[in-house]
Structure 1
Amino acid sequence: MNYRSDNAAGNLILVINPRHPFTKIGVFKNKNLVFLKSIKHDDADLAKFAKYEDQTEYRGDAIIKELKENDIDIEHIKLIISRGGLIKPVKSGIYAVNDKMITDLHNSLQGTDIVNIGGLVSDYIAKTIPEAKAIVADPVVVDEYEDVARITGLPEIKRRSIFHALNQKQAVRKYAKSIHRDCKELSLIVAHLGTGITVGAHKNGRVIDANMGYDGDGPFSPIRAGSIPTGDLIRLAFSGKYTEEELLKKVSAEGGLYAHFGTPNAIDIDKKVASGDKQAELIFGAMAYQVAKTIGSMYAVLSGKVDGIIITGAMAHSQWLVGKIVERIENMGKIVIYAGANDIETLAARAVEVLDGEMAVKEY
């Protein structure tokens, strides 16, 4: 589908990035940011909803209210873009939010997570604006794996591609541009250190392998448990202590730093380390150790032919954490640090490509 607009300079783009306690929004006039806001949500309000996807109207109404109170001309919004959720596997690109996607997001096709709200809220708001279209860019389920990467020791279980596709691919584009190369000429490893942690092997523009950071593969993170000894997890599942839903939540939303410290806030843990807290140093260091180990596995995936290693995401702001990772991988190749995620700017840039006719919108 072609969403090109002949009046792109006069159109508004609304970018939506829902996070656990807030929703960050940005309004752009072509490439220029005209409004940016993090809308905080009351914990008591969020607690009323059984799962993330049920928050759609609540967050959508809060966004509309914020836009109106700040005199944003809502009728001029042409594109509403967000991160894509846990839908069926797709190729990299930009997708229209259609009825099929809405159904899959509501039904939590591959799991329930805050990332699912983006497409739902975008669609909810788009339906209140006559000419607005809702789209998502590079959903977390972008699947470009080689077949060998899918195999496990149990035929009935396959490895799935769930990683920070939007952030990782943007980091690769940024790096390729900085060295005046095409993404399709490079072999890179990207480690995104966010609420979840994923490490991807990028070969000639495709992510041929990555850890499935959502519910049980790779390093533990602020809220994910990461890889856990399988037998111990099975015994825990049948211990009678947890329901299936409770245990899934434990490994995907209440593991990692949260399980160890009662908070997922990596900044707080970084401060504990700086103050001499030995337990914090051990756990935070173990996270760095596991990230480095996963980077090493992707080095093997790329047969040791690596043009660079990129470390990105919010936790890349921690010099201590990054330093602990780098000291284990520094002999593997050039290392580049892009601290932060910049989801709002990344999504806006993709929407501009759509309005300029440079990027077609795919049907889900």
Structure 2
Amino acid sequence: MKEHILAINLGSTSTELAIYKGAEELWQEQISHSTAELAKFDRVNEQLPWRQELIIDSLVAAEVEIKELAAIAARGGAGLDALPGGVYSIDEVMVADLKAAKNAEHASNLAGIIAFELSQEYKIPSFVVDPITVDEFPLVARLSGWSKLPRRCQSHALNLKAISRNVAEDLNRELTELRLIGVHLGGGFSIAPIKEGRIIDVNNANQQGPYSPERAGGLPVMQLVDYIYAEEPTKEELQKELIVQGGLASYLGTNSGEEIEERIKDGDAQAELVYQGMIYQLAKEIGAMATVLKGEVDAIFLTGGLANSDYLVQEIIARVGYIAPVRLYPGAEEMKHLAQGVGRVLTKVESAKDYDRARKSFNQRLAEYEQWDIQWR
């Protein structure tokens, strides 16, 4: 029986690949992409041929026989419709939404497209696990302050859910008993209150919350309106500035936390101010999410690439450590979680869900808001 699963995870600044046999990682490669490399592309979808070529070249160099794989597991893209958590088969309907970046433009959309094209060519199944658009909000969390713009749930759901399971295991408690605040620190940030395993609120990393290495985060609304009318940027230009070239990149010309910390050590006052500003906003968002849990927080966990920074971690702990113990899970469990999710489907422990059916059911229940609120409160 074929046992090897290829996991593909495309982030805003990286392409990550791994081969798993069960929970055992047999091979992995992570390719980092600099701001200069990414600046060559006006739209994220334009990266597709480049990213696909990088993936194929890496697999060939590692002597991976794609046709011998049991399945491909891809990170679920931000372009998908809202869905409950779970494992979903990649099909034409899903790929169409990913290509159209239906709900958001992000590099994660490319992972499912590439996985599907490989699965079609080599006749093997492909799946996404706990996509970015996992939505488990109660009704109250959807209100934005303007009836025309409901809040959407988009987050680093895959890693948040994976690390939540790790926290429960480390605390020797059931996940359904815990109230956690998960903080994913990558090119974009996701800060989420997690109640009984469900993500019940989160800053949308592309639109709200603290600025990050690449995202502008929440902005002064009327100043933004004035800027748009005065400068008249195209939609594509504005999206690029806010999502790819915002945050640290906007202020300091780099999205590298390591580089900025070196500049701080060398006495760069501007770098220190901008970095501290990001930490300040991070701490404020964590504090805000503690109120969602009514102050009953069992643990705060920090994960993602920037959780490797002792400087950043200690500064965050100094501001939020009074709320709950802070636990560190540097890097990400995303690749392992992708493979394990698909493994559960291949071993028939769990059934793969149909994307089109699930999103239609979700939207119907959302429209029946009273019943929805009772279910997810």
TM-score by structure 2 length?
0.88
What is the correspondence of 1:154-173 to structure 2 with a 5 Å cutoff?
154-173=146-165
Count matched residues: 354
User: Are the equivalent residues in 2 in contact too, given 1:316–1:338 (CA < 8 A)?
Assistant: yes
Q: Which residue of 1 aligns with 2:91?
A: 98
Structure 2: which amino acid aligns with 1:126?
S
Q: Which residue of 2 aligns with 1:3?
A: none
Q: Which moved more, 1:222-231 or 1:16-25?
A: 16-25
Q: Which residue of 1 aligns with 2:113?
A: 120
In 2, distance between residues paired with 1:310 and 1:47? 32
The answer to which structure has the higher helix fraction is 2
Question: How many angstroms does 1:62 deviate by?
Answer: 3.8
Question: How many angstroms does 1:312 deviate by?
Answer: 1.1
- Deviations along 1:225-245, one digit per CA (max 9) or x if unpaired, are 011111101101111342222
- Which secondary structure state, in structure 1, belongs to the residue aligned with residue 258 of structure 2? helix
In 1, distance between residues paired with 2:311 and 2:110? 33
User: Given the alignment, which residue of 211, 219, 225 partners 1:234?
Assistant: 225
Q: Which runs of 5+ in 2 are unaligned?
A: 356-377
Q: Which residue of 1 aligns with 2:352?
A: 361
Q: Which runs of 5+ in 1 are unaligned?
A: 1-6
Residues 172 and 73 of structure 1: CA distance in aligned 2, closer, same or farther (over 3 Å):
same
- Pair 1:13 & 2:5 matched: yes
Q: Which moved more, 1:227-236 or 1:337-346?
A: 337-346
Q: Which residue of 1 aligns with 2:273?
A: 282
- Which secondary structure state, in structure 2, belongs to the residue aligned with residue 127 of structure 1? helix
- Which secondary structure state, in structure 2, belongs to the residue aligned with residue 157 of structure 1? coil
User: Given the alignment, which residue of 239, 245, 260 partners 1:248?
Assistant: 239
In 1, distance between residues paired with 2:114 and 2:34? 18
Q: Which residue of 1 aligns with 2:55?
A: 63
Provide the aligned C-alpha RMSD in A.
2.0
- Pair 1:194 & 2:199 matched: no
Structure 2: which amino acid aligns with 1:127?
Q
- Deviations along 1:22-48, one digit per CA (max 9) or x if unpaired, are 522112233332222235779999777
Q: Which residue of 1 aligns with 2:361?
A: none
Question: How many angstroms does 1:52 deviate by?
Answer: 2.4
User: Given the alignment, which residue of 130, 139, 149 partners 1:147?
Assistant: 139
Structure 1: which amino acid aligns with 2:182?
V
In 1, distance between residues paired with 2:57 and 2:318? 48
Structure 1: which amino acid aligns with 2:187?
T
- Pair 1:266 & 2:257 matched: yes
In 1, distance between residues paired with 2:106 and 2:316? 28
Structure 2: which amino acid aligns with 1:100?
V
- Pair 1:30 & 2:30 matched: no
- Deviations along 1:262-298, one digit per CA (max 9) or x if unpaired, are 1111111121222222211111111111111001111
User: Are the equivalent residues in 1 in contact too, given 2:216–2:243 (CA < 8 A)?
Assistant: yes
User: Are the equivalent residues in 1 in contact too, given 2:13–2:187 (CA < 8 A)?
Assistant: no
- Which secondary structure state, in structure 2, belongs to the residue aligned with residue 238 of structure 1? helix
Question: How many angstroms does 1:61 deviate by?
Answer: 4.1
What is the correspondence of 1:272-351 to structure 2 with a 5 Å cutoff?
272-351=263-342
In 2, distance between residues paired with 1:117 and 1:154? 32
Residues 79 and 248 of structure 1: CA distance in aligned 2, closer, same or farther (over 3 Å):
same
- Deviations along 1:181-209, one digit per CA (max 9) or x if unpaired, are 11111111111111001100111111111
Structure 2: which amino acid aligns with 1:335?
V
Residues 45 and 333 of structure 1: CA distance in aligned 2, closer, same or farther (over 3 Å):
closer
Q: Which residue of 2 aligns with 1:181?
A: 173
Residues 27 and 146 of structure 1: CA distance in aligned 2, closer, same or farther (over 3 Å):
same
Structure 2: which amino acid aligns with 1:337?
L
Structure 2: which amino acid aligns with 1:202?
I
Q: Which moved more, 1:318-327 or 1:195-204?
A: 318-327
In 1, distance between residues paired with 2:328 and 2:62? 36
Question: How many angstroms does 1:362 deviate by?
Answer: 0.8
Structure 1: which amino acid aligns with 2:22?
N
- Deviations along 1:67-116, one digit per CA (max 9) or x if unpaired, are 23433232221211111112100111111111111110111111211111
Q: Which moved more, 1:18-27 or 1:345-354?
A: 18-27
Residues 357 and 70 of structure 1: CA distance in aligned 2, closer, same or farther (over 3 Å):
same
User: Are the equivalent residues in 2 in contact too, given 1:23–1:59 (CA < 8 A)?
Assistant: yes
Structure 1: which amino acid aligns with 2:228?
A
Q: Which moved more, 1:242-251 or 1:223-232?
A: 242-251
Question: How many angstroms does 1:64 deviate by?
Answer: 3.1
Residues 213 and 45 of structure 1: CA distance in aligned 2, closer, same or farther (over 3 Å):
closer
Residues 15 and 250 of structure 1: CA distance in aligned 2, closer, same or farther (over 3 Å):
same
- Pair 1:203 & 2:195 matched: yes
Q: Which residue of 1 aligns with 2:103?
A: 110
